[in-house]
Amino acid sequence: MLRIIVLLALVLAPGFALTLQEAYAALAARQYDAAIQGFEQALASDPASAPTHKDLAYALLKIGENERARDHFAAAMRLDPADEHVAMEYAFLCFESGQKARARHIFDQIRQHGNNIAEQAFQNIDKPLAEGIARWSETVRLAPGNFSAHQELARLAEQRDLLPLAAEHYEKGWRLKPGERSLLLDLGRVKQALGENENAVSALLAASRGPQTRVGEQARELLPARYPYVYEFERAIQLDPLNAGLRRELAYLLLAMNRETEAEAQFAQLAQLAPDDLVASAQLGFLLWKRGDHAAAQPCFERVLAGNDEELADRVRVVLQRPRALKKREDANPAQDAKTMAARSLEAGYLPDAKKYLTAAHEADPADASVALKLGWVDNILHDDREAIKWFKEARRSSDPAIALEAGQAYENLRPEFARFRTTTWLYPLFSTRWHDAFGYAQTKTEIRVGSLPLRAYFSTRFIGDTRQTVGASAVPQYLSESSVIFGMGLSTFVWHGLNGWVEAGESVKYLPHRKDVGAAIPDYRGGLSYSKGLGHLLTAGPGWFAETNDDLIFVSRFQNDTLLYLQTRAGYTLPRIASTNLQFFWNANLTADRLRQYWANTIETGPGFRFRLDPMPKNMLFTVSFLRGVYTVNEGNPRRPNYVDLRAGLWYAFTH
């Protein structure tokens, strides 16, 4: 995803678009990164160009991007099937990346035209497969209960395009070990390749409703986009009769379709497969009671009454006309029922269902602020902050101090994003032993929402400077920062999954009157993409592991219309709070690169660091220290050593109002 973002920004950067001729020139000069970017730009405007796909693939091979090269050889082969050289390259790369069946198939096609290299490559793949199939076939003949033999035979048969044999032994392996649900996935994939779509859906549906999450995700990717039909559930259950999740979903589907007799049969089977499923037991009891079989319903109800779900047990007591345990509950309480279902949906991670039930609960009892608070959090998790802030605003008026406090904090966190006007200020003073210099970076930005568009117009004042100012000989000084105040106006997008974009036009005004390398005021055009993401236990989230990244892609006109990429990644451990202090230790991995390949803008840095904040400090202030070992990745024109060490300490502070 990041590569796509970088490429898009480079394409849009003024002065950067390469022609195809320039890409070939870069390739001839062995400037492979530039050549690759040029070929990709050419394909963006002409994706049906087989020669461009081919040349891009060869350039990618030069930098070791074999899988990307394989994909472009595949595209070139589809566009120009007569080019055997491309097909051969694609086949060899398929073989190297483990796609033996695909490689064998292509070599088989090419060898029909008398290509000796393809013939030898085909034999090198086919002969071991044939020998393995013969060996494992004999093994399963002598030991039909040998699970590993069936599994290996199926795998080899699939690679040799013997799909009926592969399907047979994937299914036999599955019958021997029903816990190996990945075999259902394999079976469904092979059935799809054979064109047996109904059988494929049965296997994939069973795999998708199993307990193995990764297998379930892969199976859902292969299933049709629509919801399965009843007969497909039934065929899947025939294949996987012990799958409680599959049977449960079918039972509720039948119940929703008013096919109560069939639903009852499924609930009866489910009660045997999953006796701890109290909801299924209760539902079976209700169905039996409804059709007058009270004796058969009684054991189901007793199981529920002996369980720990008091809400469900109370519903059973209503049917049995017994006193209810929940004394305050009235005869009909749709709000409470909806809240119960919402809680179960949240526990299971079914957020859309939870939102549906919470909405029903709010409609039944609009005064329940706890429901509004939960709706706010669900919408927030579903990335619908526009709705979330409405619920938080409502919940913060609650008479319950805990609900009001939590909702109020959530509302204040979201409010700046939706305010018509907001001003954000950040400061980052930094000291570096590498330069023996203190640097200062700061910005104040006032933003205005642009109607209902996900955009903000803004006015900005930036400061970039340092105390040392120059290094090197006084006759030819090298300035360590821009030493400027930059006034600008621009547009920025709302943040979407941690990503936002911005463009800006302004005027850069130097504050050093003796600086002669730039004018007193020069036009300054900037723009870029920013991405940030944090996972795990961040600084104030308590002890545990964490990882985070802050990435920027920036075009700056004053640096010869250069485009720069900054990737800053940290991973480490957040310690328990000690004496009102939040403390993290982490490892840094930083990358800087630019389009013009200037030595100062191309570095890799790594090393340990720590970060902390004290309770007396403002909320968004923290102190960071890192010890970094760096290397220049471009040394042409570099007057310094190719490696360096830097102890870097900085104070970050930001606030919005």
Q: So what's the pLDDT on residue 348?
A: 56
Encode pLDDT of 153-185 as tens digits.
Answer: 888 888 888 889 988 888 888 888 888 888 888
Cα separation, 69 vs 87, in Å, equals: 12
Is 517 in the same domain as 624? yes
Is 316 in the same domain as 412? no
Is 299 in the same domain as 375? no
Share of the chain above pLDDT 70, in %: 89
Split into its structural domains, the chain has a count of 5
The residue-averaged pLDDT of 584-597 equals 94
Q: So what's the pLDDT on residue 586?
A: 96
Is 374 in the same domain as 475? no
Q: Above 50 in pLDDT, residue 590? A: yes
Encode pLDDT of 236-266 as tens digits.
Answer: 888 888 888 888 888 888 877 778 888 888 8
Encode pLDDT of 463-472 as tens digits.
Answer: 998 887 665 5
Residue 198 lies in a domain: no
E strands of 599-642, at which residues? 603-614, 621-632
The residue-averaged pLDDT of 39-44 equals 83
Cα separation, 551 vs 533, in Å, equals: 9
The residue-averaged pLDDT of 309-314 equals 77
Residue 649 lies in a domain: yes
Cα 101–chain centre separation: 30
Residue 624 lies in a domain: yes
Residue 188 lies in a domain: no
CATH number, domain of 53, equals: 1.25.40.10
Contact (CB, 8 A) for 302 and 316: no
Residue 358 lies in a domain: yes
Two structure tokens written together for 204: 């994939």
Residue 527 lies in a domain: yes
Q: Above 70 in pLDDT, residue 63? A: yes
Burial 333-372 (b: 16+ CB within 10 A, else e): bebbbbbbbbebbbeeeeeeebbbbbebbbebbeebbbbb
Domain range holding 357? Answer: 348-418
Domain end among 89, 112, 135? 112
The residue-averaged pLDDT of 502-506 equals 93
Q: Above 50 in pLDDT, residue 565? A: yes
Is 149 in the same domain as 280? no
Contact (CB, 8 A) for 649 and 431: yes
The residue-averaged pLDDT of 8-18 equals 42
Query: pLDDT band at 625, cuts 50/70/90?
Result: very high
DSSP 139-197: HHHH-TT-HHHHHHHHHHHHHTT-HHHHHHHHHHHHHH-TT-THHHHHHHHHHHHTT-H
Q: Above 90 in pLDDT, residue 582? A: no
Q: So what's the pLDDT on residue 214?
A: 78
Is 469 in the same domain as 597? yes
Domain end among 418, 448, 473? 418
Q: So what's the pLDDT on residue 11?
A: 40
Q: So what's the pLDDT on residue 530?
A: 93
Is 410 in the same domain as 428? no
Q: Above 80 in pLDDT, residue 323? A: no
Q: Which residues contact 452 (CB under 8 A, 6 or more apart)?
A: none
Encode pLDDT of 271-289 as tens digits.
Answer: 888 888 888 888 888 888 8
Cα separation, 397 vs 367, in Å, equals: 10
Average pLDDT score over the chain: 82
Q: So what's the pLDDT on residue 467?
A: 85
Q: What is the DSSP letter of 400?
A: S
CATH number, domain of 509, equals: 2.40.128
Q: So what's the pLDDT on residue 605?
A: 96
Is 371 in the same domain as 512? no
Is 512 in the same domain as 375? no
Amino acid at 149: A
The residue-averaged pLDDT of 207-236 equals 83
Candidates 477, 469, 459, 413; CA nearest to 639 is 477
Query: pLDDT band at 501, cuts 50/70/90?
Result: very high
Cα separation, 388 vs 534, in Å, equals: 21
- Using CA atoms, how far residue 256 sits from 32, 263, 266, in Å, is 60, 9, 13
Q: Which helix (H) or strand (E) holds 211?
A: none
Q: Count other C-beta atoms under 10 Å from residue 382's C-beta.
A: 14
Encode pLDDT of 523-535 as tens digits.
Answer: 999 999 999 888 8
The residue-averaged pLDDT of 478-506 equals 86
Is 431 in the same domain as 580? yes
Encode pLDDT of 332-385 as tens digits.
Answer: 455 566 677 767 666 655 667 777 878 887 777 777 788 888 888 788 777 677
Q: So what's the pLDDT on residue 13?
A: 41
Contact (CB, 8 A) for 429 and 396: no
Is 447 in the same domain as 308? no
Query: pLDDT band at 9, cuts 50/70/90?
Result: very low
Residue 214 lies in a domain: no
Encode pLDDT of 112-127 as tens digits.
Answer: 888 888 888 888 888 8
The residue-averaged pLDDT of 564-574 equals 94
Is 474 in the same domain as 495? yes
Q: So what's the pLDDT on residue 217?
A: 80
CATH number, domain of 151, equals: 1.25.40
Domain end among 418, 442, 457? 418
Share of the chain above pLDDT 90, in %: 16
Amino acid at 510: K
Cα separation, 421 vs 354, in Å, equals: 34
Q: So what's the pLDDT on residue 444?
A: 93
Higher per-residue pLDDT: 645 or 332: 645
Residue 219 lies in a domain: no
